């Protein structure tokens, strides 16, 4: 039976909805990621991030760095990316990021992990299908030292939409 595997398959769902969040809950996100020289050079080139610290090793060393500097916006995107499955994979659009701090320059070869705490959840006043959730997410190096931190908010769909008023 060619279709048998489909009939027997059980969906392995991913992501969380509004009801799955509670203020104060903490996530240690999956995977982590080593950021390579090729990652940051490609990211900087594709986004036209023209500061030579990000792609000229001699220039970076002449400014006292041991290597090219990892584009901090790549670092931020990796930390946010690692948080997506736990926080925002299926809920809805990304609204904004606030109070983002880059603690120090980092260099190729760094391994980054990410953690998040849920700060706030509220129902949308205009849309009975959605709420808004805000988290605080931080990225860490191998020694557990923080390298980036920020708050972000997303629209998150309700599993059980409220009755429209």
Partner 1 sequence: MTKLSELSGTDNYFEDFEVGAVMKHARGKTITPLENVLITNMVMNTAQGHFNVHAMESSPWGHILSYGGVNFSMVLGLSAQDCIENALEELGLDNIKLSKPVTHGDTLYAYSEVLSKTDAGQADAGIVIFRHYGVNQRDELVAQVERKALIKRRSHWGDK
Q: How far is the CB of 136 from partner 1 (least distance, A)?
A: 14
Would you say 19 or 89 has its CB closer to partner 1?
89
Q: How far is the CB of 97 from partner 1 (least distance, A)?
A: 4
Q: Is residue 107 close enough to count as binding partner 1 by CB under 8 A? A: no
Q: Is residue 28 close enough to count as binding partner 1 by CB under 8 A? A: no
Q: How far is the CB of 36 from partner 1 (least distance, A)?
A: 10
CB 67 within 8 A of CB 56: no
- The single residue among 19, 28, 34, 97 that binds partner 1, judged by CB under 8 A, is 97
Buried residues in 95-110 as b, exposed as e (16+ CB within 10 A): eeeeebeeeebbebeb
Q: Report the Cα 39 to chain-centroid distance in Å.
A: 16
Would you say 131 or 149 has its CB closer to partner 1?
149
Binding span for partner 1 by CB under 8 A among 5-13, 39-47, 127-135, 136-144: 39-47
The encoded tokens of residue 51 equal 């500061």
Give 5-54 as a DSSP string: HHHH---------GGG--TT-EEE-S--EEPPHHHHHHHHHHTT---GGG
Would you say 19 or 98 has its CB closer to partner 1?
98
Task: Name 44's Cβ contacts closer than 8 Å, sequence gap at least 6.
Answer: 54, 55, 71, 74
The encoded tokens of residue 19 equal 């009801």
Would you say 4 or 50 has its CB closer to partner 1?
50
Residues at the site binding partner 1, with contacts judged by CB under 8 A: 14, 31, 33, 39, 42-44, 46-53, 56, 58-59, 62-63, 72-74, 76-78, 80-82, 84-85, 88-90, 93-102, 105, 150
């Amino acid at each position: 039976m060619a279709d048998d595997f489909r009939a027997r398959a059980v969906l392995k769902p991913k992501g969380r909805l509004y009801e799955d969040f509670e203020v104060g809950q903490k996530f240690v996100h999956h995977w982590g990621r080593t950021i390579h020289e090729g990652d940051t050079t490609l990211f900087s080139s594709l986004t036209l991030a023209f500061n030579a610290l990000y792609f000229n090793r001699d220039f970076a060393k002449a400014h006292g760095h041991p290597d090219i500097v990892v584009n901090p916006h790549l670092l931020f995107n990796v930390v946010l990316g690692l948080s997506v499955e736990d926080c925002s994979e299926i809920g809805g659009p990304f609204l904004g990021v606030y109070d983002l701090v880059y603690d120090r320059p980092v260099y190729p070869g760094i391994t980054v992990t990410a953690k998040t705490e849920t700060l706030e959840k509220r129902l949308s006043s205009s849309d009975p299908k959605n709420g808004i959730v805000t988290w605080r997410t931080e990225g860490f190096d191998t020694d557990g030292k923080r390298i980036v931190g920020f708050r972000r908010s997303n629209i998150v769909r309700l599993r059980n939409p409220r009755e429209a008023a």
